[in-house]
Structure 1
């Protein structure tokens, strides 16, 4: 395991992050208590120190299990959790079934942030959180309220670093700029769905992350298991038959991954993970697992690297339409006009390739 600094901070995290959404069986799937501890131990023994969870994952059981596991060596781990979504009893499944709860027990507001943080402390058996994510933008709370509340909990030592997930690029940009100008705590990471099957963040979110110095923490880097090829073999999983991750286009990408994996004699998932890790920006895939065998297979990505030609081939077969203005910048006439014919002689990471 190698380590990288998160965003523009000095915080050192492992190059793979363990995704803990599957710890606990409250949602009728996932790992039981013993398996959860085995998963965490396997990750730690491989050098992993970066664990990602959220206040509502398995109705709080995920945080509870992590809290039990890290008790004797809390400072060795970087625990990232999230606030926004409903985590009040009788649980998220009940909320989704229409049962109402605390109207301020959800969302990005200051009250819910502090309430969620207090409950996460109890479940994790800790008095500080390493990284606190805003889980998803609620389209209600003023941006300055969010950033001032974040700065308050950082100033009080309750949270060490802040990050944001599943939020439009314009919101993140404005929030980060407000924080920078006012001397408040700034985001160090951006969590988005990103994989060979989901590259739409390349339109706005990832260029923004590069400019603002945010590490991209990629959730579903294996597209819910589709990129492992198991669905092509007829194996069952949690993806519904009409999932976009099982579409004809998605299947074509998966077959290309399998072809490359066969040549390297590694599992397809290792190729898909390594593609995410080898991006020209700071990118850490979040690897979820409910079986130790799955996690050990994912950890094979640590000792594997794609050759440039294979990396580029995967880029081509999974390419998306960047739309406007991304595709516009790549037009030859535009390049010539903007760079005066010197485009190919200018070496800069931001140029549209």
Structure 2
């Protein structure tokens, strides 16, 4: 079990582990997290395995996650080693609209709180947590660029925002020579593959590596849930939140995916969770996969997810079982339509290495991207 292979994140020189330690479970403030001693053991185990990419947010366990991480990193003397990512967006003061959202006022407020709780003077990767439907992309990008120039953050990115908004933000940054966004943090799993339509090509074209959250579909793909009279049965967080809008996971389609995953995992001789994580981590455009746990044994199992290669035949079975529907306009881009577009002549992307690399001052203009 080793995480000593790293990808550069998007079009940047920031090197990150292919598995990121998610710390939404650090602290029991929400009723299902990990106490401090367990959280510390998971933090130590992740670093011992060679991991360097740690994800948190000011929202997680009401700030306890950031507070614990700050303490752990300081005690371990690991600040220069770890790539520390945190997020802003969610309101910290009910009744005060400017203590949340993605406007400049809240970003500047939120970053100071995160720096204080994390016991550091800089954040490696600072992310907009969730689109607020209000703030212009230009305001967000300008503010993040100011934070980079002030030395309070090193890189920036977006989480849970529309593809058109991410594209607007990145192209604005490019047009005005502002710090580019290097990361998109998005939900992705065998049960949730919609990012393949827009976000994966967006990240590959505009230089934003994708980090995948909920790669086990909130535990659905771990094997601890089964169909039941109420939709699903099992012990875990998912049973508590699946009724919330947007978090429904106990569906007929998902049970078909679980059944296919169980068969593939049995044939591969690996736990279901490891196979599901391996599939996500080796998909195009994915820089890193966020793994979280409430128990050390869970984390140990997850960290072994990259210790094997999934055979092509088994991967194909998972692809087929989980294939998402093609909404408009994507069904218009199928092979049959492309054949008519090109007059029956095979026309595709240029082969790898077709164009010579562009060099600036003897350094490649584009860093090796996170995508496969």
Name the CA distance, whole Å, in 2 between partners of 1:58 and 1:161: 24
Partner of 1:145: 139
Aligned partner of 2:88 among 62, 83, 88: 83
What secondary structure is seen at the aligned counterpart in 2 of 1:271? helix
Query: Normalising by the residue count of structure 1, what TM-score does the alignment of the two structures yield?
Result: 0.92
Distance in 2 of aligned mates of 1:323 and 1:105: 37
Aligned equivalents of 1:213, 1:308: Cα separation in 2 = 28
Quick check: 1:29 aligned with 2:28? no
Native 8 Å contact 1:200 1:322 kept in 2:
no
The answer on whether the counterparts of 1:26 and 1:58 sit within 8 Å (CA) in structure 2 is yes
Q: CA RMSD in A?
A: 1.6
- Residues 195-218 of structure 1 show CA distances to partners (whole Å, capped at 9, x for unaligned) of 000011122222211211211111
Report the count of equivalent residues: 337
**2:55 equivalent to 1:56:** no
* Structure-2 residue corresponding to 1:178: 172
Q: CA deviation at 1:341?
A: 2.5
TM-score, scaled to structure 2: 0.87
**Hey, what does 2:363 align to over in structure 1?**
none
Greater RCO structure (CA 8 Å; 6+ sep): 2
Equivalence for 1:67: 70
Q: Does 1:281 align with 2:285?
A: yes
SS state of the match for residue 130, structure 1? strand
Structure 1 match to 2:49: 46
The alpha carbon displacement at 1:308 in A equals 1.5
8 Å Cα contact 1:6/1:13 also seen in 2: yes
1:312 aligns with 2:316: yes
Q: Does 1:168 align with 2:171?
A: no
String of CA shifts for 1:13-63, please: whole Å, max 9, x gaps: 001011100000111120001000001011111111100000111010000
Q: Is the 8 A contact 1:68 1:125 kept in 2?
A: yes
- Contact map agreement 2:55 2:290 (CA 8 A) in 1: yes
Question: Is residue 271–residue 306 contact of structure 1 (8 Å, CA) maintained in 2?
Answer: yes
Question: For 1:112, which of 103, 106, 109 is the aligned residue?
Answer: 106
CA displacement 1:135-160 (0-9 Å, x = unmatched): 11111112211111010000111000
The 5 Å alignment of 1:247-266 reads 247-266=251-270
Shift of 1:339: 2.7
Counterparts of residues 313-332 of structure 1 (less than 5 Å): 313-332=317-336
- Tell me the secondary structure at the aligned position of residue 188 of structure 1: strand
Q: Specify the SS of the correspondent of 1:323.
A: coil
Greater helix share, structure number: 1
Describe how 1:227-266 pairs up with structure 2 within 5 A. Answer: 227-232=221-226, 234-240=233-239, 242=243, 244-266=248-270
Cα deviations by residue, 1:160-196 (Å, 9 ceiling, x for unpaired):
0001000011110011000001000111110111100
**Greater shift in the superposed pair: 238-247 or 54-63:** 238-247
Residue aligning to 1:3: 6
**Which sections of structure 1, spanning at least 5 residues, go unmatched?**
89-99
Unaligned runs of 5+ in 2: 228-232, 353-372
Please tell me whether the aligned partners of residues 60 and 87 of structure 1 are also in contact (alpha carbons under 8 angstroms).
no
* Aligned-partner Cα distance in 2 for 1:137–1:278: 27
Deviation digits for residues 238-297 of structure 1 (CA, Å, limit 9, x no counterpart): 223656322121011011111111112111001100110111223321101110011011
**Alpha-carbon offset, residue 126 of structure 1:** 0.3
State the distance in 2 between where 1:346 and 1:110 align: 41
